[in-house]
Structure 1
């Protein structure tokens, strides 16, 4: 059911959607693309030792009024509230991230995704997977290559789960395995606490941001590494140098403006704890 505290008009203004509000596949396509493009994936609050809150009022205050981004739980909780306010039937699911790993890697279900049931069938919606979040709803059926505004994607079956894959250049790469069992919000609170609190969580030591760009590009920041990946798989890389460079990249590429004290604290943590070798495979 729709959350009465959710401000649908403010959300739609934030993502720039001026089209239909009817709960149709056309509307779903439009709001997935708009939300993914307008609200950057980022986990800066975790880096600053601020535990992300998942209640709708806090999410609206941060990501709509405050014009910040968020990571998977924040993004998809906010998006779920938006979809339900439009009248969509939404079921909350989880997924096992296997980006950069073997497809059958024994992984916990730590990623939040959504199933949207339409007359055309069930679709997956996910605006919270950073550098490879689908920028279109995807039919939850295996072995169908599906176009998006960015990479072609498909599901392949593995036991009771569906593996989401993305075609990067001439190769298909695993992203995550969708678990069909519906979840309750308390389970997201547990995984959110773990992701934000565990000392080995990559979010606690690294400055991470991602956003889909124009012309099928993807923009990713992992500490000082800034990547612009093209649809053919080619990547333009540059290294950020100093607070001014970070500030400009966050503002110009991700739409994020941090207070000076927050940026200084984030960069100090990155300097003392950040990954210095290859980026984490989930954000490469």
Structure 2
């Protein structure tokens, strides 16, 4: 795995359009989260097109920064971890069990998601720029039973039999996102789940196409051929993409993804349900 010393910090900040303060403060942390979430989208184009995701820092910078692509949780948060370490933040990598879409919080899914815990200015905060359609564009205090507002949905953390349960208020319903504990993870701990999720023939990252991005007052989501805009406090607007050309235009304009290097995308469009 790459180290923080291998990071090109200037190129990263150029990529996310950030030219603000770089001191290790809560304000800086929240600002980086916002800029990152709006500039680097969640997407699984490589696994969908048959290329496993690589998690070394050189590959992450080449893909997410230089090639103006996006990625999923391991890619996004490992890159962000390197950035925060370079800036002097106290960062702990964590793993979560995804509950989004599960019928109950009692479901025990594998630890297939990555998030970060940052100790900053006497506070503990979680930061997560890689959870698809519910990606955070700010940080949350690590405290339970408190509703925490963001630029989009309110979030909260609850105690779930010793784990932290993250929920979001979607419409008028609190919906579970994932559960996690504070066991520190190392970059190598993500290699096995990353390989599984990006290569297993039954993985939804291999069989389907997903993309998501945070924007001002709205979220953009792509699931297969369905593109959806979720405005804050308004009705969602859905559009069915009917051709590979429409898909490329959507990825470029709404998700800010450079599709020029994606071989086989046009052919793969016809595999989408």
Per the alignment, residue 174 of structure 1 pairs with 176
Per the alignment, residue 48 of structure 2 pairs with 47
CA distance in 2, matches of 1:46, 1:126: 21
1:261–1:62 CA distance, 2 compared to 1 (3 A)? closer
Per the alignment, residue 76 of structure 2 pairs with 75
Tell me which stretches of 4 or more aligned residues in structure 1 moved more than 6 Å.
none
How do residues 33-112 of structure 1 correspond to structure 2 at under 5 angstroms?
33-101=34-102, 102-112=104-114
How do residues 128-277 of structure 1 correspond to structure 2 at under 5 angstroms?
128-215=130-217, 217-232=218-233, 234-259=235-260, 262=263, 265-272=264-271, 274=272, 276=273
- Residues 236-258 of structure 1 deviation map (CA, whole Å, 9 limit, x = unaligned): 11100112211110111001121
CA distance in 2, matches of 1:123, 1:178: 14
Q: Secondary structure at the match of 2:125?
A: strand
State the TM-score, normalizing by the size of structure 2.
0.95
**What is the Cα deviation at residue 271 of structure 1?**
2.7
CA distance in 2, matches of 1:219, 1:258: 17
Q: Secondary structure at the match of 2:118?
A: strand
CA distance in 2, matches of 1:17, 1:240: 32
**What is the Cα deviation at residue 261 of structure 1?**
6.0
Count of matched residue pairs: 271
1:179–1:233 CA distance, 2 compared to 1 (3 A)? farther
- Residues 166-210 of structure 1 deviation map (CA, whole Å, 9 limit, x = unaligned): 011111111010221111222100110010111110111112110
1:248–1:9 CA distance, 2 compared to 1 (3 A)? same
Q: Contact 2:244 / 2:269 at 8 angstroms: preserved in 1?
A: no
Q: Secondary structure at the match of 2:111?
A: coil
**What is the Cα deviation at residue 233 of structure 1?**
6.0
Deviation larger for 234-243 or 29-38: 234-243
CA distance in 1, matches of 2:266, 2:142: 40
Q: Contact 1:92 / 1:182 at 8 angstroms: preserved in 2?
A: yes
Per the alignment, residue 282 of structure 1 pairs with none
CA distance in 1, matches of 2:186, 2:16: 27
Cα RMSD after superposing both structures: 1.5
